[in-house]
Amino acid sequence: MRLDSLSTLNYRNLAPCTLLFPAGVTGVFGENGAGKTNLLEAAFLALTGLTDVTRLEQLVQQGETEAYVRADLESSGSLSVQEVGLGRGRRQLKVDGVRVRTGDLPRGSAVWIRPEDSELVFGSPSGRRAFLDSLLSRLSARYAEVLSRYERTVSQRNAALRGGEEWAMHVWDESLVRLGTEIMTTRRRALVRLNELAGEANAALGSRKPLTLSLAESTTPEAYAQDLASRRAEELARGSTATGPHRDDLVLTLGDFPASEYASRGEGRTVALALRRAELELLAERFGERPVLLIDDFSAELDPGRRAFLLDLAASVPQAIVTGTERAPGAALTLRAHGGRFTPEVTAEPLPGEPLAEEVRA
Ligand SMILES: Nc1ncnc2c1ncn2[C@@H]1O[C@H](COP(=O)(O)OP(=O)(O)OP(=O)(O)O)[C@@H](O)[C@H]1O
Ligand SMILES: [Mg+2]
């Protein structure tokens, strides 16, 4: 997968621009607040249609009502144009000029690694569930569909519980068990490979403590219906669904202890890095192409060994964009970020046939 160019308009603090990216590593450096993270966020949105921002208005430049990002990308030898329009809390996606839904964009096109990933380790189970669910949704359109139907069912069932509609519960329970069972089964199956890949990455990161991933499930496919029935009174009193995959956790065990409670900051960042590399490998295995790698703040909280791991990872994919407050070594192109603008610095001779990276202001 290759991002040939990225265009943005009214996206956060970014000046309207089209940036051309060469193969290999593009380093983006600049002071705090220059727009480095915003650039990666815009690239991730244009490549995948995904954002974890809940209020889309946040992405639109203050004082404007609409924003736009566009990626020209190359995948398995063919070119395509992906556009995302943001406005009035909505997101509109187009591929080659035709309106599509998020799931229709190539699902393995990018992986984004950032310092906030540590929250996966130290934060609440919901963040780890979101990591697993978002990865599985990208690996399988079926999982995305079942998950969204399950989540709708939980919220409708919760409303029925709050309304004291005990008589309707058998209908909700039947859908919940059917959809929930499929979610649990898919998670269990995917975890086998995810666990292997994360364990390998953790070892490659030089960690002496082994990393193991496991699911802490609030119920099992076999016991789900019975568990719901036995907690009916409690659920009616609380007005919420007490068991099921929406309550489960992805437990990260480092050595003998859960990383969420015992890992040091740096160990936590290492575990998060191992998860992201596992994500990259899984997407590459599934789609037969290595994603574009977006690395935010490559030096944050990392010792030299782990920084080297990240830079090696960047060098192992066809294309990576690496930001930092200092220059990333070995980049094919270096952009200096300043006030939402990106200016190329010539650091290396271009490869024969490789266009010179340049910036075109709209
Ligand atoms: N909707 C918006 N409109 C205008 N500016 C915004 C908007 N959202 C964020 N910004 C501004 O964009 C600026 C750049 O943010 P960004 O996170 O990209 O910086 P950065 O270069 O990654 O900095 P750091 O090195 O601190 O991580 C910030 O000053 C922020 O206030
Ligand atoms: Mg940043």
pLDDT over threshold 70, residue 52: yes
- Residues 302-329, mean pLDDT to the nearest whole number: 92
* pLDDT value at residue 215: 98
- Is the C-beta atom of 325 inside 6 A of ligand 1? yes
Alpha helix (H) residue ranges in the chain: 36-48, 118-122, 125-139, 141-162, 169-204, 224-230, 232-238, 259-262, 265-287, 304-316
- State whether 299 and 279 are in the same domain: no
pLDDT over threshold 60, residue 353: no
- State whether 280 and 313 are in the same domain: no
Chain mean position to CA 211: 21
Residue range 76-109, pLDDT digits in tens = 889 999 999 999 889 999 999 999 988 888 889 9
Domain end among 290, 306, 334: 290
- State whether 124 and 211 are in the same domain: yes
* pLDDT value at residue 359: 46
From residue 113, how far is each of 75, 150, 273, 314 by CA, in Å?
A: 21, 28, 7, 11
Domain end among 259, 290, 321: 290
pLDDT over threshold 80, residue 309: yes
- State whether 226 and 87 are in the same domain: no
* pLDDT value at residue 303: 84
- Residues 267-278, mean pLDDT to the nearest whole number: 95
What is the Cα–Cα distance from 25 to 319, expressed in whole angstroms?
A: 6
Percentage of residues of the chain with pLDDT beyond 90: 86
- State whether 312 and 275 are in the same domain: no
Domain end among 247, 271, 290: 290
* pLDDT value at residue 121: 97
- State whether 124 and 235 are in the same domain: yes
Contact 112, 131 (CB under 8 A): no
Residues with CB under 5 A from ligand 2 (ion): 37
- State whether 301 and 359 are in the same domain: yes
Range of the domain at 71: 1-105+293-362
pLDDT over threshold 80, residue 287: yes
Closest residue (by CA) to atom 30 of ligand 1? 33
Closest residue (by CA) to atom 16 of ligand 1? 35
* pLDDT value at residue 362: 39
- State whether 126 and 205 are in the same domain: yes
- State whether 261 and 130 are in the same domain: yes
Sign of CA dihedral 96, 101, 104, 108: positive
Q: What is the arrangement of strands in the sheet containing 17-20, beginning at the earlier edge strand?
A: 98-100, 90-95, 78-87, 66-75, 2-9, 17-20, 359-361
- State whether 151 and 280 are in the same domain: yes
Ligand nearest to the CA of 53: 1
Ligand nearest to the CA of 114: 2
For residue 89, what is the domain's CATH number? Answer: 3.40.50.300
What integer best gives the mean pLDDT of the chain? 93
Ligand 1: centre distance to CA 354 (Å): 31
For residue 279, what is the domain's CATH number? Answer: 1.20.1050.90
Ligand 2: centre distance to CA 13 (Å): 12
* pLDDT value at residue 266: 86
Domain count, the chain: 2
pTM recorded for the entire structure: 0.92
- State whether 12 and 114 are in the same domain: no
- State whether 118 and 144 are in the same domain: yes
- Residues 196-222, mean pLDDT to the nearest whole number: 96
Which residue from 38, 53, 54 has its CB within 8 A of the most atoms of ligand 1, so it is best to mutate? 38
317-330 burial: b if 16+ Cβ within 10 Å, else e: bebbbbbbeebbee
